[in-house]
Structure 1
Amino acid sequence: MPERHEEMLAQIAGEYYLENTSKVEIAKAHGISRFQVARYLDEARREGIVTITIRHPLALPADGPELAEALGIASVTIASIPEGAPDARDRLARAAAGVVADVVSEGSRLGVSWSRTLQEMAGHLPTLPGCDVVQLAGSISVTGGGGSGSLIHRLGQAAGGRTWPLPAPLIVETAETAASLRRQPEISDALQAADALDVAVVSLGDWAAGKSTVYERVSPAQRQAATAAGAVAECSGRLLAADGSAADAGLDDCVIAVTLEQLTSTPQVVLVAPSEDGVAGVRAAVAAGIANHLVIGPALALRLAGELGLSITGRSSDSGTGAPA
């Protein structure tokens, strides 16, 4: 009887999918071959007795090309980061390494700023096309890892070309001290080398506690002044207002790093934005013209999509009554 056959299909499917019983064990229990078990499982899916639903943990709101078109930039790469993943930074760094490998070519000049994510990115770039590497921001030391100086040396080894290190702190106490340091030949050479970049790789930090390395290294009065000046984000020590203009808070002259003008004149700028809620910062960087290629996680992609009026419903795929491809 058809009902008996369908019940047998349901029984075998339940043992396989719900009880994790192997096909060999099911075959022995029912006195059939494991090949018959496989055919019955296929039939159960075809007849709708078994349906399989796959929920994508990323629930991406929009794909990269949609976001890139809406932002008016060359590309957006959304890193594969499941919700709550403990290695989220490393996954973002791996995605950034893939973009850098795509845009850097033989004989080009690559400029690299510093962030914890970019530090990890270097580990995913064992080799690069032969190119020169310029350090775009003064040194920052962090607990438990190398600073920007070690990053530039690692990338220089991977690229095999000339390197321009920037042997100075990112931020100093006074504009006079910064001006004196900029006159030093090695520092001056590195800053001038940033005038002729082919590719720049920089990181974006929200102007908030725990979101920017620079934020943690200035005084409370300087933070307050930057906020009052409209700063929403920081890139290589340079503060950005929401409209993409420089947020003048008296810090700029104390920073030893690539300028916003140098970044805007660079043909290819890869901007890595680690923050999950850095919509304002990304919009500011795009408005400033310092983001041709954006690398973000899915949480920020969701927020950006909502801000830009794109679809914000998550994705899921259901095999329905058909067998999976």
Structure 2
Amino acid sequence: MSDPTHEELLADIGQAYYLDNRSKVEIATDHGISRFQVARLLDEARAEGIVHIEIRHPNKGVDVDAVALAAALGVSRVVVVKTVPDEFQQRDLQARAAADELMREARAGMTVGISWSRTLDLAARHVDQLPTCNVVQLAGALPVPGGGNPLELVQRLGRVAQGKTWPMWAPLVVDSAATANGLRRQPEIADAMRMADSLDLAVVAIGAWGPNLSTVWDRVDNAVRQDGLNHGAVAECSGRLITADGHPVKSELDPRILSVTVPQLRRTPRVIAVAQGSARAEAVRACIAADIVHTLVLDEELAVALRGREKLAG
């Protein structure tokens, strides 16, 4: 085996010290050098960026100007919540913020549509008051571990709003376009999808078209995933794929989806969108380009990523 390069040596020593918790003396013995040389190499590894140390103060928020970010992104409103290490706590923070925005925006007599995600399922539990309005389910069911289902979500909001509900008694993704067409002809499903043409307010979640960034990606096979990528998909919203420049993707998946369409969301006067994590930055920008985002609820990590991209673009 050939001798490691100097950069590989820096990486090996950095891993041994910072990740494997080995002492400088032990590392020096392994490599036949002095502990003072180890110290110098660790300094060099940090200076060269081979070792990157990040300290995050858990109770100290990131300074993000939400008004400036909204203006830079071209949306009406941005709501930023703290980024925390615990996944459920993070989801609940964003759910509470989404619930507050829904209660803030809803008016008596409105038709309110809501899609499904684990965050939006939690959000519905935090909605404790709404004016009398109607509630439409915007996407079929896609059960995931630890999540509820969209039928319960819509019924819960309907009880709070004391209005009529339009549930969509169907899965989000079916095995073929023919199956989806058959389901769309069923009166209850047809009524819900027709109501999406006349929404006053909608609440949706934004996913990225990639592993662990979209519940739909995780539930379809590799051929469907790749077909979406081949068509330029970067974002997923209610099962609908969107390209970086904001165009709906007409992939093999699209006719198999039972949910609100991108054109229907474009016609909706107000759309509240929820997204989390810097890996979804491109997806958020795609949905903004598609003109389906007015209020954006996001975490600090994603806000910083979007802010950074806006600075680079500027």
Q: TM-score range by the shorter chain?
A: 0.7 to 0.9
Q: Residue type matched to 2:61 in 1?
A: L
Residue 86 of structure 1, CA deviation: 5.5
Quote the offset at 1:179 in angstroms. Answer: 0.6
Q: Residue 215 of structure 2 corresponds to which residue in structure 1?
A: 213
Per the alignment, do residues 169 and 55 of structure 1 end up closer, same or farther by CA in structure 2, a change over 3 Å counting?
A: closer
Instruction: Give me the whole-angstrom Cα distance separating, in 1, the residues matched to 2:153 and 2:59.
Output: 35
2:157 to 149, 152, 155: 155
Aligned to 1:273, which of 256, 272, 275? Answer: 275
1:225 to 224, 227, 231: 227
CA distance, structure 2, for counterparts of residue 257 and residue 139 of structure 1: 10
Note closer, same or farther for the CA distance 1:59–1:128 as it changes in structure 2 (3 Å cut).
Answer: same
Paired amino acid for 1:303: A
- The partner residue of 2:176 within 165, 174, 177 is 174
Contact 1:182 1:188 in 2 (8 A): yes
- Secondary structure at 1:76 match in 2: strand
Is 1:238 the equivalent of 2:248? no
In structure 1, give the amino acid aligned to 2:60: P
CA distance in 2: counterparts of 1:83 and 1:170, whole angstroms: 30
* Partners of 1:58 and 1:83 within 8 A in 2: no
Using CA pairs below 8 Å that are at least 6 residues apart, which structure has the higher relative contact order?
1
| Greater Rg by CA | 1
Q: 1: distance between equivalents of 2:88 and 2:109?
A: 37
Residues 1-325 of structure 1 correspond to what in structure 2 (within 5 A)? 57-60=60-63, 62-82=64-84, 87-309=89-311
List per-residue Cα deviations over 1:231-253 (Å, max 9, x = no partner).
11100010011111112221111
Shift of 1:275: 3.0
Rate the CA distance shift 1:184–1:55 in 2: closer, same or farther, 3 A. closer
Q: Answer whether contact 1:58 1:82 (CA < 8 A) is retained.
A: no
Is 1:206–1:275's contact at 8 Å kept on the other side of the alignment? no
Cα deviation, 1:239-282, whole Å, max 9, x if unaligned, reads 01111111222111110111100000000000101233211001
1:24 paired residue number: none
Residue type of the partner of 1:58? G
Q: 1:186 to 1:84 in 2, by over 3 A?
A: closer
Aligned equivalents of 1:55 and 1:211: distance in 2?
24
- Matched residue SS, 2:285: helix
CA 1:297/1:55 → structure 2, altered by over 3 Å: closer, same or farther? closer
TM-score (norm 2): 0.78
Give the alignment's TM-score, normalised by structure 1: 0.76
Provide closer, same or farther for how the CA distance between residues 184 and 96 of structure 1 changes in structure 2, counting only shifts above 3 A.
Answer: same
The percentage of counterpart residues that share the same residue type is 45
Matched letter for residue 182 of structure 1: R
CA distance in 2, matches of 1:144, 1:87: 14
Structure 2 contact 272–294 (Cα < 8 Å) conserved: yes
Which structure 1 residue ranges, 5 or more long, are not aligned?
Answer: 1-53, 311-325
- State the superposition RMSD in angstroms: 1.6
